[in-house]
Chains A and B, each alone.
Chain A
Amino acid sequence: MTVVLETRNLEKRFGGIIATGNVSLSIEKGARHALIGPNGAGKTTIINQLTGVLPPTSGRILLEGQDITGLSAHARVGLGLARTFQINQLFADLSPLQTLGLAVSERLGYGHDWWRVTGSKPPVMAEVVELLERFNLGDVMEDPTSQLPYGKQRLLEIAVAIACRPRVLLLDEPAAGVPEDEREDILAAVAALPSDVTVLLIEHDMDLVFSFADRISVLVNGSLFVEGKPEEVAQDPRVKAVYLGEEAHV
């Protein structure tokens, strides 16, 4: 198998605090890789470094063999690396239709177009329609995003990332805070991700992690602790001690 996303000795310090230290992670093509760990372990900090939101203090990040450590966030998206956010980061005043229309227009290279009306390109609209259908957003497509039910916002959060047509997708707690009756849509959307897309999932929900992932890395105090297949990680006594034991009563 080929490695698509790799970090080498990735380290991030905030002052004297080491948020992530010496993280070397390899994610294989087409993998369903989960990154788990207790609160404050540095999971989101890793995602932020992978996507260019935070510059690492030291270490390197490689996407399909190319060093992207110094690239801006938007340039990484162009190379096929997209993400969702743990806390919704959406365009409150725009509708799902506008949001997806914008994201697809950007990817297909119409982002600089200042003359034609958004949506006047049929290839853009074909994808937008497909996304609205797949994520069940058709009935709310013209509502301002700020007024959507939380579960719909969560679906849009994933749909926007998919609109970037990533080769590697980073999902930061996709089901976080979603009420029980709306969870099913989210889980179905995550399960239905195209198999050629490599996924790195951060999640607290162990049911989701173990039903989804074919590989799991455990992060504790900013360092990689254990990595392996789900059954290996589940059996590992150290993991049980530091992590699963603590989560079991939740």
Chain B
Amino acid sequence: MLLARLSQEEVTGRLVGRAHWHPLEVLFWVAAFATIWLFPSKHLILTEIAWLALFALSLDLILGYAGIVSLGHAAFFGFGAYTAALLAKHEIINEPVIALVVAGLAASALGFVTSFLVLRGTDLTRIMVTLGVAFVLREIANQNGWLTGGADGLQGVTMKPILGQFRFDMFGHNGYVYCLVVLFVLFLLARRIVNSPFGLSLQSIRNNPLRASAIGINVNARLIAIYTIAAGYAGIAGALLAQTQAFASLAYFDFERSADLLLVLVIGGTGYLYGGIIGAVVFKFMHDYLAVLTPQYWPFWIGLLLVVLVMVGRERITGWTAPFRRMADRLDWRRLRPRGETTEGR
């Protein structure tokens, strides 16, 4: 066997380099934060995009990375929303950020308990089990009207200022900044998670659980962990909605919400974290724009987009943008230095 000598520094650079910030990512977030000043009149819909993006990011963690299909992710969304709304209504926790954290932890706890149901079985059984959990929770909220307000929703919630400083104003300015900052912070955390050995092990489990266990990975423990984390993310997304609307309703648990979420992720693509955010932007703006044009028929256009996406294939669409990404690559000095010429033209 002819052995090529490799330098450890270079090999390390190639593995660690996968986690480096791409210039397009920086541009993406600069643009996202620029919307605060550029589009003040759009802050209400941008707020919806922010919590939907966070919700989709949550699904991406379990679906795109660990390969767990869920059609009941609204269970955690609704649970977090009701937790946050109840905390505010009964003045248990008056500061929204702390309430948000508590709502996330509550949803995580629910995620941990129900994670044991999704460990075994095929995609189909997972779909059914997650769907069932969401139905059960919705019905529990429905039956306990004394606590949740039942079918009327939880009314009479008044939100105190964020950090005691910033009121939720009627134009949604502060609410949007709040949601965007939460989305960004949790995105950063998710980015660390997926680039870590733990995150890589999730991808290996999605690829081949048999081999993952054959290299010493406790597959079930990892799936429980990520399901718990993702449930917390979904709960925080729901809590953001409840806090910005000062309201919670049974619709937060609806099947349609879980299904729309899957659609958002299909539009944006799974397994690279930005899919949920991009999908949320496309989904909400299409919804907004088309609902004005054809209020009744907007699902037609979403359906058409879905079919086109699946038929044309996302690879081909990302292929069209490749020249722009290559252009951006040249701006990245870190990639040029350790890699040298060997990776040119890849």
Contact = CB atoms under 8 A, between A and B. Distances in A.
A129 B215 contact: no
B122 interface: no
A111 B198 contact: yes
Given A112-B198, A114-B192, A117-B16, A89 B1 contact: no
A102 B200 contact: yes
Select the residue from B8, B11, B16, B343 with max chain A CB neighbours within 10 A.
Answer: B11
B15 A91 contact: no
B344 to A, nearest CB: 13
A163 interface: yes
Contacts of B155: none
B64 to A, nearest CB: 11
* B-side interface size class: 35 or more
A73 B19 CA distance: 31
A215 B165 CA distance: 78
Grouping DSSP codes into helix (H, G, I), strand (E, B) and loop, the A interface class, with mixed when no group exceeds half, is helix
A152 B199 CA distance: 25
Contacts of A224: none
A47 B7 CA distance: 37
Interface in B13-46: 14-16, 18-19
Given A97-B11, A97-B15, A105-B197, 6 more contacts: A74-B218, A91-B208, A103-B215, A117-B195, A118-B196, A184-B1
Interface of A: 51, 53, 72-74, 77-78, 82-83, 85, 89-94, 97-99, 101-103, 105-107, 110-120, 122, 125-126, 128-129, 132-134, 136, 138-139, 141-142, 160-161, 163-164, 184-185, 188-189
30 contacts: A72-B218, A73-B213, A89-B214, A91-B207, A91-B208, A91-B211, A92-B208, A94-B204, A97-B11, A101-B197, A102-B201, A105-B200, A106-B197, A111-B201, A113-B197, A114-B193, A114-B196, A114-B198, A118-B195, A118-B197, A119-B16, A125-B11, A128-B15, A129-B11, A133-B4, A136-B3, A136-B4, A163-B215, A185-B1, A189-B1
